[in-house]
């Protein structure tokens, strides 16, 4: 395992504000987790598909990466940083997002949960 410089992280509340100001939220969880519940504005790009889907992320806007608890998103954030993206890891992941009362929707558009 590589030891990297600690990347910037952001709280759920601050991430919500950044998204309102134009930042992108990239959810790197697996499809089943996504289907249970995700942030309404998130782009779903599972961790193992990030390298093949860089074209789906706008390099001119800040990127916030999220997973369930923050570990997978930290790996994705490190990779995206190496590719030149302005990236932040969402502290505590979707668990923190939901705990702060921020919207979570399911794959069918109804209220969701964090699996």
Tell me the DSSP string of 40-105: TT-EE--GGGTGGGGGGS-TTS-EEEE-SSSHHHHHHHHHHHHTT--EEEETTHHHHHHHTT---B
Is residue 110, in this structure, part of any structural domain at all? no
Tens-level pLDDT at each residue, the chain (115 residues):
344 557 899 999 999 999 999 999 999 999 999 999 999 999 999 999 999 999 999 999 999 999 999 999 999 999 999 999 999 999 999 999 999 999 999 977 789 999 7
Is residue 2, in this structure, part of any structural domain at all? no
Instruction: Report the DSSP beta bridge partners of residue 44.
Output: 27
Tally of domains in the chain: 1
Is residue 34, in this structure, part of any structural domain at all? yes
Is residue 14, in this structure, part of any structural domain at all? yes
CATH code assigned at 95: 3.40.250.10
Is residue 104, in this structure, part of any structural domain at all? no
Enumerate the active-site residues: 67
Could you list the residue range(s) of the whole structural domain that residue 77 is in? 9-99
pTM for the complete prediction? 0.93
């Amino acid at each position: 395992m590589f030891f990297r410089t600690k990347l910037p992280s952001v709280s759920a509340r601050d991430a919500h504000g950044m998204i309102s100001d134009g930042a992108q939220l990239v959810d790197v969880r697996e499809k089943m987790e996504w289907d249970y519940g995700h942030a309404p504005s998130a782009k779903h790009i599972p961790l193992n598909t990030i390298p093949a889907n860089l074209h789906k992320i706008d390099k001119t806007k800040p990127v916030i990466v999220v997973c369930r608890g923050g570990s997978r998103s930290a790996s994705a954030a490190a990779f995206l940083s190496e590719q030149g993206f302005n990236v932040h890891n969402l502290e505590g992941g979707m668990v923190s997002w939901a705990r702060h009362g921020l919207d979570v929707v399911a794959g069918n558009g109804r209220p969701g949960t964090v699996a």
